[in-house]
A = this chain, B = another copy of it.
Amino acid sequence: MVIVGAGFGGLTCARALKRAAVDVLLVDANNYHLFTPLLYQVASSLLDPSQIAQPVRALIRPLPNCDFMLARATGADFERRVLVTDHGEVPYDYLVLAAGSESNYFGNASVQEYAIGLKALPEGLALRNWVLSQFESAQYVADESARRQLLTFAVVGGGPTGVEYAGALQELIHLVLRKDYRNLDLGQSRVVLLEGAAAILGAFDPGLRAAAVRSLRGKGVEVWFDALVKTVDDDGVELEDGRRLAAGTVVWTAGVKASALGGAMELPAGRGGRVAVDGFMNPAGLANVFVIGDLAAYEQDGQPLPMLIPVAMQEAKHAASVIRALVEGAIPRDFRYSDPGIMATIGRNSAVAQLGAVKLSGFPGWVMWLAVHLINVVSLRAKLFVLAEWAVDYLRFDRPIRLIVRALNPPRWERPPASAGRARGAPRRRRGTSGS
């Protein structure tokens, strides 16, 4: 059987099938599993990529029935039971689709062109490089309004990613970079969180939302409400209501949509491109195809489940149990999601957490956030290293990973592994020309 996607859904499903009588092939376009909740910390110079990304092959070593294939899934032929990838066709008996989600620009070309997303590891690294470059540039810009613009960072979207990145960026600037740029007046720097609705963190309790706004503002982050982005350009952001923000950086966290894979496979797409599934995680009419995680829309109590890691992991375990039941000739059960709660951090000593009836904010919320995230970071090495980085940041107000660096044209970057016919003759790119 084949699992598409090595994120939380796909990896959890592979693990849950460890002792099942199936051979599992995990297919992903990247060779790593990404701990997405901490991506914003890579983008704010706090963590290294290797602390939130682990090679898939290392993670599946304990699974004797699991192999990995570095390829991008592009479609499927459900009749013939083959998955189509940029590396050729892969036959399956059971197919699990856990391709996740991507940034949603809602068709706004100016956003897509001028804003930077924060969903994938290359975006996190790009954002780190970009933000640090803004300060280097500002250092030598004489014109004050140009300098203020360079030092203004608009973060669009008041969900957890936007809130967490805005808080982390503000602290990077005022606790760390302050010491780097002694000749620069960092009082001119602004981090502005643009939320389209009347409240940030819409999924949280109103009391926690208010606490988050207070905490952000206490740290110096500006929070604009009813701020719907109309266009983004070189000079910054223009809002629907006519307000403008001159900003050198626009980060887009205002929406995600399901991976385009569902559409490419002509599966029935609902809101945000998600595929409706039944209690066995099957899309209509396909009993050996399972869709889980952000790509799936499972309705529970009249509402589709949110696009969250715990949903993906529980759906993955459920899909694995259905597959085991089918293999063993048993009767599978229906799915039911059990909500462990949600949380978001706003920076040092401050977070909001909503765990059933328990609602925490400020320092207690932050301690809870730290514990939950550290426990869930994937490997022991990453746990220790992440803890060490957090300690350096917390105790010394320092983030040593302020590097502007990028791999030189890895010639095969974004290209699939060569298939048999293409291996020898595959053109190699010239050094010094683009590899992307």
Residue numbers of A with Cβ under 8 A of B are: 30-32, 48-50, 53-55, 57-58, 61, 67, 69-70, 87-88, 112-114, 116, 120-123, 125-126, 128-130, 132-133, 136-137, 139-143, 146-147, 149-150, 179-183, 234-235, 379, 381-382, 384-385, 388, 392, 398, 400-413, 417-420, 423-428, 430-431, 433-436
Contact = CB atoms under 8 A, between A and B. Distances in A.
Contacts of A120: 408
A120 B404 CA distance: 13
18 contacts: A30-B404, A50-B400, A58-B400, A67-B183, A113-B430, A114-B428, A121-B405, A125-B407, A126-B407, A126-B408, A126-B411, A128-B407, A129-B413, A139-B417, A141-B418, A147-B423, A406-B406, A406-B410
In order of increasing CB-CB distance, the 6 nearest A-B pairs are A434-B434, A125-B407, A122-B408, A129-B410, A57-B180, A137-B417
The count of identical subunits is 2
Contacts of A67: 182-183
A405 B125 contact: yes
A179 B64 CA distance: 12
Nearest to A64: B182
B53 A405 contact: yes
A143 B426 CA distance: 14
Given A53-B405, A403-B49, A412-B133, A58 B183 contact: no
A418 B406 CA distance: 19
Given A31-B402, A120-B408, A136-B417, 9 more contacts: A50-B400, A67-B182, A113-B431, A122-B408, A125-B408, A125-B410, A129-B407, A137-B412, A406-B410
Nearest to A111: B431
Nearest to A418: B137
A139 B68 CA distance: 10
Contacts of A235: 424
